[in-house]
């Protein structure tokens, strides 16, 4: 039996099935899953009350549990929610100068998280070949490849940014969470991390394009599709 | 012999540069032969490799690249593996990755699985077709890329700097694969400034001299075997700066990357941590700097726990490809940045910058943009900016990867000299266990998840 384990040793919050087993939701066509995920993300933008947000969170978790591929940990997403909330609350305090806007800030953060969560989990639990096949039905194959490749390289770019961040911390950039509590340190984040990250992102895009052309991508106007997975 | 490609008086210049990267290059590539293209970093090896495949982007070129008429009537298919396999793996599973080229060639889906399996067998990669690419080691990823080209049945295979990506074991396997390819009539071009491990495969050498001129023969430069340093104490060893006790780190899957790692480093010591690609060397350094939390064990670094906030200014860290941390407009500003952040006033900071730029041999580049420098020069700028605050302990993650002999020796000599003069402790990682014998006081090897002294 699959189990729902909030405090598994592998992470703070995890949805676990029997090891290596996919949930029934994995048998649903990728296109349909994509529509479901988009619908869930869209609902997050109209959820304005705590009860609505709570209900949507429960639905999200149930659907993600149903769609999961093998064990699914939400540790990274939980961490992201924590930091995002902290930053938004800090911005609210700075903007309004009182604690009165904190609840509103928390709600915004919650909404944003629910908007991104389904997409993040979908990308993590669906093979790229399946995504390309689904995209191929509704858009030119070249665009389908570009879209799916962008999705695939997001974690790589994030890892690169992390390495840049760590290197800059030890070079003295004031970008640790403790430093960023002081807004006058924020320009360091822009100069030392965002600028090199953008440069890195552009270089990455160039390298990926070169790698694709090196294997004759674009030689013919149409492509066939790998039948596996 | 069957000539696959012929370059005649071929020259190429990148936009906004005065000097051509390649000048009047004449060469022929014959089927079934392996050529090794040598030359210093930035001499145009990759540019020439891209020209073979028709991948050169904007720029001015003269001369011709011809594919002479072949009895079979077909145009030669050229496959190329560029540097950094990570950004060339475009899909998430082994089968889809190998099939990517077939998709582009419009091969019928029904034909794909058998061709993909044959290509994987040719490179000895025994993995299921749905195996995640992310779970392969660097050596396996490189072989996967080679399989992804072989499936397209190339007549010419070009490998750009395989030695920078593969450990000795990976290179040995690659050598065997290349021998088989040569026997089947495939021509191979290796762009490599350190081809020692692949010498049995190479039939001919070309060298680019750094001014765009190609001639036959092997470029040596200062590539001789690294000198063994005379035994000399690397400083007073009166106190420990780093002690690691029973350290274990578990990956995302919960399995240990390495476990029960223990070692100690005294002030002024030079320690090398060697290991195959994927053995967890970078992870170890990130744990030491406090950016990753080990699952078990204790780290005492510079008299305390590994906390980046506490360690700033005392600990320096140079991660792989340090060029990507550069963001200022001039080399001088790049080097002065940490000094400003660590509160040094302008006059002593300027003195310190002049000193470190001089030591790194890049004083003449001080007012240039770091982004327009060569690979090796950028590496030195990044190193200068890490050395400028005079850290007590410096962690370096494979600091010589991708550098040619000239820069490798310059970097190592600089580190050792700077360390001796300022009593700085050095811990560096390397995927080449025998690259710099005698330069480290202590060599530790990470293998099979355990650390052992060599």
Tell me the mean pLDDT per 10 residues along chain B, length 454: 89 85 94 92 88 88 83 78 88 91 93 95 89 83 92 94 80 90 94 84 92 85 50 61 95 83 94 86 94 94 94 90 87 95 93 92 91 83 94 91 76 88 92 72 89 83
Q: Strand, coil or helix: what is A226? A: coil
Instruction: Decide the pairing of beta strands B393-396 and B315-318.
Output: parallel
Contact B144, B97 (CB under 8 A): yes
* Sign of the torsion formed by the C-alpha atoms of B91, B95, B100 and B104: negative
Please, where are the H alpha helices in chain A?
30-46, 50-67, 75-96, 102-125, 128-138, 141-170, 177-180, 186-188, 195-214
Q: Taking 60 as the threshold, does the pLDDT of residue A21 lie above it?
A: no
Interface size, chain A vs chain B, as Cβ–Cβ contacts under 8 Å: 164
Q: Strand, coil or helix: what is B300? A: strand
Residue-level pLDDT at B196: 81
Residue that wins the pLDDT comparison between B173 and A9: B173
Which of A43-57, A94-108, B179-193, B324-338 has the weakest average pLDDT? A94-108
Mutation target to probe the A interface, by most A beta carbons within 10 A, among B324, B333, B334 is B324
In this complex, do A227 and B113 lie within 8 Å of one another by their Cβ atoms? Answer: yes
Three-class SS string for B175-210?
Answer: HHHHHHHHHCCCEEEEECCCCHHHHHHCCEEEEECC
Q: Which CATH number fits domain B223-314+391-454: 3.30.413.10, 1.10.10.10, 3.40.1190.20, 3.40.50.300?
A: 3.40.50.300
Q: How many CB atoms neighbour CB A190 within 10 A?
A: 11
Q: Is some CB atom of chain A closer than 8 A to the CB atom of B218?
A: no
In this complex, do B87 and A156 lie within 8 Å of one another by their Cβ atoms? Answer: yes
Question: Between the CA of residue B234 and those of B156, B373, B417, what are the distances in Å?
Answer: 49, 33, 9
Crossing angle of helices B112-122 and B94-104, in 10° steps, is 120
Q: Which of B104, B309, B371 sits opposite A219 (nearest CB)?
A: B104
* B contact residues 275-334, partner A, Cβ 8 Å cutoff: 286, 289, 291, 308-309, 311-313, 315-320, 322, 324-327
Tokens, residue B46: 């990759």
In this complex, do A170 and B53 lie within 8 Å of one another by their Cβ atoms? Answer: no
Residues of B in contact with A195 (CB under 8 A): 327
Half-sphere exposure of B332 (CA within 13 A, CB side): 11
Give the integer Cα–Cα distance in Å for B289 and B283.
10
Homologous superfamily in CATH for domain B3-216: P-loop containing nucleotide triphosphate hydrolases (3.40.50.300)
Tokens, residue B185: 């009539």
Residue A182 CB partners (closer than 8 Å, separation 6+): A174
Nearest residue to B446 via CA among B282, B288, B253: B282
Write the DSSP assignment of B13-41 as a string of letters: E-TT-SS-SEEEEEEEEETT-EEEEE--T
Backbone angles phi, psi at B395, to 5 degrees: -100, 130
Confidence of residue A15 (pLDDT cuts 50, 70, 90): very low
Contact A208, B87 (CB under 8 A): yes
Residue-level pLDDT at A19: 35
Which of A71-75, A171-175, B89-93 has the weakest average pLDDT? A71-75
Residue that wins the pLDDT comparison between A136 and B126: B126
Nearest residue to B124 via CA among B152, B141, B145, B143: B143
Residues of A in contact with B53 (CB under 8 A): 214
Please, where are the H alpha helices in B4-105?
45-53, 94-104
End-to-end CA distance of chain B: 48
CA angle B51, B56, B62 (to 5 degrees): 70
Q: Domain locations in chain B?
A: 3-216, 223-314+391-454, 329-389
Q: Taking 60 as the threshold, does the pLDDT of residue A40 lie above it?
A: yes
Crossing angle of helices A195-214 and A141-170, in 10° steps, is 140
Backbone angles phi, psi at B312, to 5 degrees: -55, 140
* Sign of the torsion formed by the C-alpha atoms of B354, B360, B365 and B367: negative
Nearest residue to B94 via CA among B123, B69, B65: B123
* B contact residues 60-119, partner A, Cβ 8 Å cutoff: 79-82, 84, 86-88, 90-93, 95-96, 99-110, 112-113
* A contact residues 63-82, partner B, Cβ 8 Å cutoff: 73
Backbone angles phi, psi at B273, to 5 degrees: -110, 110
B43-67: buried (b, 16+ CB within 10 Å) or exposed (e) per residue? bbbbbbbbbbbebbeeeeeebebeb
What digits encode the pLDDT tens for the residues A182-221?
A: 889 989 999 999 999 998 888 888 889 999 999 999 888 8
Nearest residue to B25 via CA among B221, B203, B207: B207
Q: Is some CB atom of chain A closer than 8 A to the CB atom of B435?
A: no
From the number of C-beta atoms within 10 Å of its C-beta (0-12, 13-18, 19+), residue B68 rates as exposed
Residue B259 CB partners (closer than 8 Å, separation 6+): B247, B248, B249, B296, B449, B450
In this complex, do B371 and A199 lie within 8 Å of one another by their Cβ atoms? Answer: yes
Q: Which of A191, A204, A229 sits opposite B327 (nearest CB)?
A: A191
Measured in whole angstroms, how far is the alpha carbon of residue B401 from the centre of its chain? 4
Half-sphere exposure of B65 (CA within 13 A, CB side): 17
Give the integer Cα–Cα distance in Å for B413 and B415.
5
Residue-level pLDDT at A181: 83
Residue-level pLDDT at B185: 92
Q: How many CB atoms neighbour CB A182 within 10 A?
A: 9
Give the integer Cα–Cα distance in Å for B382 and B369.
13
Residue-level pLDDT at B237: 59
Nearest residue to B97 via CA among A125, A132, A141: A132
Q: Please give the biggest Cα pair distance in chain B.
A: 74
Give the integer Cα–Cα distance in Å for B40 and B403.
9
Q: Please give the biggest Cα pair distance in chain A.
A: 61
Instruction: Decide the pairing of beta strands B22-30 and B3-13.
Output: antiparallel
In this complex, do B55 and A218 lie within 8 Å of one another by their Cβ atoms? Answer: no
Q: Is some CB atom of chain B closer than 8 A to the CB atom of A177?
A: no
Residue B119 CB partners (closer than 8 Å, separation 6+): B98, B147, B148, B150, B151
Nearest residue to B318 via CA among B258, B403, B251, B240: B403
The residues with which B3 forms a beta bridge, in sequence order, are B30
Residue-level pLDDT at A64: 78
Write the DSSP assignment of B350-370 as a string of letters: HHHHHHHHHHHT-GGGTTS-G
Nearest residue to B243 via CA among B262, B271, B267, B269: B262
Measured in whole angstroms, how far is the alpha carbon of residue A17 from the centre of its chain? 22
Contact B325, B378 (CB under 8 A): no
């Amino acid at each position: 039996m699959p189990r729902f384990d909030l405090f598994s040793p592998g992470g703070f919050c995890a949805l676990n099935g029997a090891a290596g087993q996919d949930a029934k939701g994995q048998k649903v066509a990728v296109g349909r899953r994509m529509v479901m995920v988009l619908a869930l993300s869209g609902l997050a933008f109209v959820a304005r009350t705590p009860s609505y947000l709570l209900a949507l969170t429960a639905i999200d978790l149930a659907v993600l549990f149903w769609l999961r591929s093998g064990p699914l940990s939400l540790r990274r997403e939980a961490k992201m929610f924590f930091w995002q909330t902290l930053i938004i609350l800090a911005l609210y305090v700075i903007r309004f100068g009182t604690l009165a806007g904190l609840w509103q800030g928390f709600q915004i953060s919650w909404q944003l998280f629910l908007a991104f969560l389904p997409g993040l989990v979908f990308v993590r639990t669906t093979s790229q070949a399946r995504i390309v096949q689904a995209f191929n039905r509704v858009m030119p194959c070249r665009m389908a490849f570009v879209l799916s490749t962008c999705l695939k390289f997001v974690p790589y770019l994030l890892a690169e940014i992390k390495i840049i961040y760590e290197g800059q911390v030890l070079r003295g950039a004031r970008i640790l969470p403790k430093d960023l509590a002081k807004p006058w340190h924020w320009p360091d984040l822009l100069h030392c991390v965002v600028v090199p990250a953008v440069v890195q992102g552009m270089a990455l895009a160039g390298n990926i394009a070169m790698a694709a052309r090196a294997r004759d991508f674009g030689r013919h106007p149409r492509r066939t599709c790998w039948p596996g997975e | 012999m069957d000539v696959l490609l012929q370059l005649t008086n071929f020259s190429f210049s990148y936009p906004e540069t005065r000097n051509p990267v390649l000048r009047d290059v004449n060469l022929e590539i014959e089927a079934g032969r392996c050529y090794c293209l040598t030359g210093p970093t930035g001499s145009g090896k990759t540019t020439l490799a891209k020209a073979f495949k028709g991948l050169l982007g904007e720029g001015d070129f003269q001369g011709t690249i011809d594919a002479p008429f072949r009895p079979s009537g077909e145009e030669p298919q050229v496959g190329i593996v560029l540097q950094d396999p990570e950004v060339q793996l475009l899909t998430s599973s082994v089968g889809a990755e190998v099939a990517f080229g077939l998709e582009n060639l419009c091969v019928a889906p029904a034909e794909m699985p058998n061709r993909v399996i044959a290509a994987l067998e040719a490179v000895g990669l025994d993995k299921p077709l749905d195996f995640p690419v992310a779970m392969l080691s660097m050596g396996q990823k490189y072989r996967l890329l080679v399989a992804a080209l072989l499936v397209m049945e190339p007549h010419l295979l070009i490998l750009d700097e395989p030695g920078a990506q593969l450990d000795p074991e990976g290179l040995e396997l690659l050598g065997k694969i290349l021998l088989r390819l040569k026997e089947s009539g495939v021509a191979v071009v290796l762009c490599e400034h350190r081809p020692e491990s692949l010498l049995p495969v190479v039939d001919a050498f070309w060298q680019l001299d750094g001014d765009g001129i190609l001639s036959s023969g092997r470029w040596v430069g200062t590539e001789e075997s690294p000198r063994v340093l005379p035994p000399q104490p690397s400083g007073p060893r009166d106190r420990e700066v780093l002690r690691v006790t029973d350290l274990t780190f578990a990956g995302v899957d919960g399995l240990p990357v390495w476990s029960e790692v223990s070692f100690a480093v005294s002030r002024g010591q030079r320690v090398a941590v060697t290991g195959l690609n994927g053995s967890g060397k970078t992870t170890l350094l990130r744990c030491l700097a406090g950016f990753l939390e080990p699952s078990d064990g204790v780290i005492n670094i510079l008299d305390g726990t590994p906390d980046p906030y506490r360690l700033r200014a005392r600990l320096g860290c140079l991660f792989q490809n340090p060029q990507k941390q550069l963001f200022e407009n001039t080399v001088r500003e790049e080097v002065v940045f940490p000094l400003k952040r660590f509160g040094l006033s302008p006059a002593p900071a300027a003195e310190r910058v002049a000193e470190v730029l001089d030591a790194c041999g890049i004083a003449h580049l001080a007012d240039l943009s770091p982004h327009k420098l060569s690979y090796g020069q950028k590496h030195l700028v990044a190193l200068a900016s890490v050395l400028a605050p005079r850290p007590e302990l410096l962690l370096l993650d494979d600091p010589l990867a991708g550098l040619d002999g000239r820069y490798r020796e310059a970097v190592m000599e600089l580190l050792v000299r700077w360390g001796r003069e300022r009593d700085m402790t050095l811990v560096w990682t390397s995927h080449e266990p025998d690259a710099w014998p005698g330069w480290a006081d202590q060599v530790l090897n990470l293998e099979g998840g355990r650390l052992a002294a060599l």
